[in-house]
Amino acid sequence: MAPALHSLIIIDREDVADILEFLNHTHGDLRKLSIKSCSLGEDSTDLLANIVALYPDLEVLSLRNINGLKSDDYFLLAQLKKLSELDFYSLFQVDYMYVQHYI
């Protein structure tokens, strides 16, 4: 695996969790992560919790057309302290999202 990998785009996959786990074992310095048109499985909370745990220094996160996100999942993203860019695009409506920033 390339030691300078700082950005990753995953498109149309069902094994997102496996890909992220593998990359963390080979090189855990990811700064930008884009997940597009993927299924997060039955428990999206576990996957987002793993993203937060494996890549705490993420600066950019894009979740586009993701199936399976629940409103409680969004609270996990507040733990990414270096996150400066967050992109959500969905064919489905997000009814409510609240993010509180602590200094």
Distance CA 56, CA 103 (A): 17
Note the pLDDT of residue 34.
92
| Position 65 in a domain | yes
Task: Give the domain range for residue 69.
Answer: 7-89
The more confident residue out of 68 and 47 is: 47
| Position 96 in a domain | no
Q: Answer whether residue 27 shows pLDDT above 70.
A: no
| Position 71 in a domain | yes
* Other beta carbons less than 10 A from residue 35's beta carbon: 22
Note the pLDDT of residue 43.
62
Note the pLDDT of residue 41.
66
Q: Answer whether residue 63 shows pLDDT above 80.
A: yes
| Position 95 in a domain | no
| Position 18 in a domain | yes
Q: Which two tokens stand for residue 93?
A: 């409506």
* Rg (alpha carbons) of the chain, rounded to whole number: 13
Band (91; pLDDT cuts 50, 70, 90): low
**φ, ψ of residue 33 in degrees (nearest 5):** -130, 125
Number of domains within the chain: 1
Note the pLDDT of residue 99.
59
Rounded average pLDDT over 46-62: 86
| Position 63 in a domain | yes
